[in-house]
Amino acid sequence: MTTNKYVNEWIKEMAELTCPDKIVWIDGSDEQREALREEACATSEMFKLNQDKLPGCYLHRTAVNDVARVENRTFICTETKEEAGNINNWMAPAEMYEKLRKLYKGSYKGRTMYVIPYSMGIPGSDFAKIGIELTDSIYVVLNMLIMTRVGTKVLAALSDDDAGFIKGLHARADLDEENRYIVHFPQDNTIWSINSGYGGNVLLGKKCFALRIASYLGRKEGWMAEHMLILGIEYPDGEIKYISAAFPSACGKTNLAMLIPPEIYSKQGYKVWCVGDDIAWLRVGADGRLWAVNPENGFFGVAPGTNDKSNPNALKTTMRDTIFTNVVHNLDDNTVWWEGLDKNPPANALDWKGNKWDYTKYDKKDKSTCGAHPNSRFTSMAINCPCISSEFNNPAGVPISAIVFGGRRAKTAPLVYQSRDWNNGVFVGSIMASETTAAAAGAVGVVRRDPMAMLPFAGYNMGDYFKHWIEMGTKITNKPLIFNVNWFRTDDEGNFIWPGFGDNMRVLLWILARCEGKVDAVETAIGYVPKAEDINIEGLDIDIDVVKELLTVDKAVWREEIGGIKEFYAKIGDTVPTELKAELAALEANLA
Ligand code: GTP
Ligand code: SPV
Ligand code: MN
């Protein structure tokens, strides 16, 4: 398929290790995809859904012990431990290679090695980077065909003397949790993933390449890879402003990226366009602004909670050419269902494990009664999204006016605040904390530090990553302003106070008005918050006092944060930039 000898030698070496029965190149053609779909259905790896209601759609169930990313089994194997830092799991590359070689040895016996040449970003563009994933899973192939740009056009963009492609090796092996490893060798452009068949662990173009390896490369080459959505807000006069936003996993990126403006705005002609929902690659343009592309080609979105009110655009996107993973299978009409889709759970159905599901036993408080897994997902093509941006395929990307950080905080963080300047904004990102979600294995609802939503995704030392942010600020002459939002403040009964979803547009418009210098703000100990009357609540059933409450900065609560921040910085160690230590000292003084 290619005359690039580096590719061919590497594949030969990996085939000698894994011993596949045969090797199949993925060319990106419809015929090949169709044949693979049929093969997967023949072995029950996938189920073909009702093609009248859901054309091109399939269902897949993972192993029950394999439903989310595994952060404690994810490693960054740089030559020295210092390069990976204290936050990442680390092992010396030679030791890790040796350990994993034993697991990969013969693991493809009786199976096929699929070779997936793919591009993150538009093949051949300045932003794009090429990867090749080797896998023994048709599910992975079919997902990669949606999530990335795959096939002969990618190989055409790889010149014969280019050894810089990212080498990914995935094996399902026995799906043994004890021997599950998601391992990155940034200095070798290599990713090895074994004993999982789940999303972020195995679609190696996504978290492994486009975040962990790419963040490492970005630091070396002077750009950034971030866990960010990108959206455009179109004003009634046709002008479009772009925002990128980093929220931790399952904290609302997909929802914000596709939001439908409240009626008060849509009737004036405001529109929102989605450029990306999970990952942004950002570079400084010739004009000194920060430009962003979405390197992905599809969405691997959270299913539960997606409905025609919360995210109608996502729902429409999933109506064709979609792979559903770990959702409920409605046997009456061969469609799918998940908690929060509608109020009509199917009576004749299988749960995400494939067992008969009795919806009458469903208890909101007991996740084990759910029909769909809380981290069940849809894999859909970006171009099927009704609000996909016309710039989605623009190789130059879009210019970013504002960067927004955010997370799930029941109390501390106000609805929105603006940082004082770039370095203060980097500080705001660095102290992000959020309640954990089902997107990763482990406890849910526990507050943890998740700087820039990159805790599980930074491919090198977190302190050096902060430093890179600070250095990028010196190169961007026309800087985006940096904000923090929190849609998740709760009342004493634990209910969300802010309506969220489409109504988040109200906050985004304040943010953009700040970028334009068109609206005032109130200075607090942590930064600038809006005047309550500047958040438009027309058409909402909350009053201005609720907005005031959402915007309060409780100094006592924030003083308690300081301890946690210091502890986290201490854990990162002496790579934390002096600029951020100074910001922390200033915050502490402001709160005194
Ligand atoms: P990853 O794909 O894991 O990176 O997640 P994501 O950040 O794209 O999360 P997503 O948009 O899929 O949201 C996850 C969950 O948050 C869903 O259950 C949503 O219903 C919920 N959610 C999203 N936006 C809001 C909001 O504005 N308010 C509230 N209360 N919930 C929200
Ligand atoms: C996340 O967990 O942030 C995701 C899903 O976007 S996964 O691709 O599984 O990592
Ligand atoms: Mn994500």
What is the residue type of 513?
A: A
Angle 375-172-304 (CA atoms, 0-180°, nearest 5)?
10
Distance 517 CA to ligand 2 centre (A): 36
Q: What atom of ligand 1 comes closest to residue 257's alpha carbon? A: 11
What is the residue type of 51?
A: Q
Distance 87 CA to ligand 2 centre (A): 19
- The count of residues in the chain is 592
Pairing of strands 528-529, 522-523: antiparallel
Q: How confident is the model over 396-422, as a mean pLDDT?
A: 97
Q: How confident is the model over 319-323, as a mean pLDDT?
A: 98
pLDDT in tens, 198-241: 999 999 999 999 999 999 999 999 999 999 999 999 999 999 99
How many other CB atoms sit within 10 Å of the CB of residue 382? 21
Q: How confident is the model over 365-381, as a mean pLDDT?
A: 94
396: helix, coil or strand?
Answer: coil
Q: Can you give the pLDDT at residue 365? A: 82
pLDDT in tens, 413-444: 999 999 999 999 999 999 999 999 998 998 89
Distance 585 CA to ligand 3 centre (A): 31
Q: For the chain, how big is the Rg over CA atoms in Å? A: 23
How many other CB atoms sit within 10 Å of the CB of residue 554? 12
Report the residue among 147, 230, 302 best suited for mutation to probe ligand 1: largest number of ligand atoms under 8 A from its CB.
302
Strand locations in 22-73 (E): 22-25, 47-48, 58-60
How many other CB atoms sit within 10 Å of the CB of residue 319? 14
**Residue 98 above 90 pLDDT?**
yes
The three-state DSSP-derived secondary structure of 471-540 is: HHHHHCCCCCEEEEECCCCECCCCCECCCCHHHHHHHHHHHHHHHCCCCCCEECCCCEECCHHHCCCCCC
Answer for the pair 252, 437: CB distance below 8 angstroms, yes or no: no
Residues 6 or more apart in contact with residue 269 via CB below 8 angstroms: 234, 235, 236
Q: Can you give the pLDDT at residue 367? A: 83
Q: How confident is the model over 181-209, as a mean pLDDT?
A: 98
216: helix, coil or strand?
Answer: helix
CA 361 distance to own-chain centroid? 33
Joined together, the tokens standing for residue 68 give 């989310």
Answer for the pair 346, 283: CB distance below 8 angstroms, yes or no: no
Q: Which ligand is nearest to the CA of 302?
A: 1
Q: How confident is the model over 449-477, as a mean pLDDT?
A: 98
Residue 366's pLDDT band (cuts 50, 70, 90): confident
Q: Can you give the pLDDT at residue 513? A: 98
Q: Can you give the pLDDT at residue 364? A: 79
Q: Which ligand is nearest to the CA of 247?
A: 1
Strand locations in 326-384 (E): 328-330, 335-337, 349-350, 356-357, 377-381
Joined together, the tokens standing for residue 109 give 């016996």
Distance 33 CA to ligand 1 centre (A): 31
Q: How confident is the model over 64-69, as a mean pLDDT?
A: 97
Placement of tokens 């045969």 in the chain: 22
**Domain 299-384, CATH class in plain words:** mainly beta
Answer for the pair 515, 402: CB distance below 8 angstroms, yes or no: yes
Q: What atom of ligand 1 comes closest to residue 229's alpha carbon? A: 8
Task: Tell me how far apart the alpha carbons of residues 121 and 395 are, in angstroms, rounded to a whole number.
Answer: 8
Pairing of strands 481-485, 398-406: parallel
Q: Can you give the pLDDT at residue 387? A: 98
Residues 77, 208, 251, 385: which is the catalytic one?
251
Is 138 a pocket residue for ligand 2 (Cβ < 6 Å)?
no
Answer for the pair 140, 110: CB distance below 8 angstroms, yes or no: no
Q: Can you give the pLDDT at residue 363? A: 84
Joined together, the tokens standing for residue 533 give 């009357």
Q: Which ligand is nearest to the CA of 147?
A: 2
- Longest CA span, the chain: 68
Residues 6 or more apart in contact with residue 20 via CB below 8 angstroms: 108, 109, 111, 112, 113, 136
pLDDT in tens, 264-296: 999 999 999 999 999 999 999 999 999 999 999
- Domain 5-45+74-221, second-level architecture: 3-Layer(aba) Sandwich (3.40)
Give the residue with greater pLDDT, 367 vs 469: 469
Is 450 a pocket residue for ligand 2 (Cβ < 6 Å)?
no
How many other CB atoms sit within 10 Å of the CB of residue 548? 13
Q: Give me the chain's average pLDDT, please.
A: 97
For the chain, what is the total number of helices (H) and then of strands (E)?
A: 17, 30
CA 407 distance to own-chain centroid? 13
Strand locations in 339-496 (E): 349-350, 356-357, 377-381, 398-406, 416-418, 433-435, 447-449, 481-485
Answer for the pair 231, 273: CB distance below 8 angstroms, yes or no: yes
CATH topology of domain 226-294+392-591: Phosphoenolpyruvate Carboxykinase; domain 3 (3.90.228)
Joined together, the tokens standing for residue 553 give 């900065």
Report the residue among 300, 302, 377 best suited for mutation to probe ligand 2: largest number of ligand atoms under 8 A from its CB.
300
Q: Can you give the pLDDT at residue 461? A: 98
Mark whether 251 is an active-site residue.
Answer: yes
- Ligand 1 is surrounded, with C-beta below 6 A, by 247, 249-255, 277-278, 301-302, 304-305, 310, 439, 487-488, 496, 500-501, 504
What b-and-e string marks burial along 198-237, b requiring 16 or more CB atoms within 10 Å of the CB? Answer: bbbbbbbbbbbbbbbbbbbbbbeeebbbbbbbbbbbbeee
Residue 1's pLDDT band (cuts 50, 70, 90): confident
Q: Can you give the pLDDT at residue 362? A: 86
Domain boundaries, the chain: 5-45+74-221, 226-294+392-591, 299-384
Distance 252 CA to ligand 1 centre (A): 3
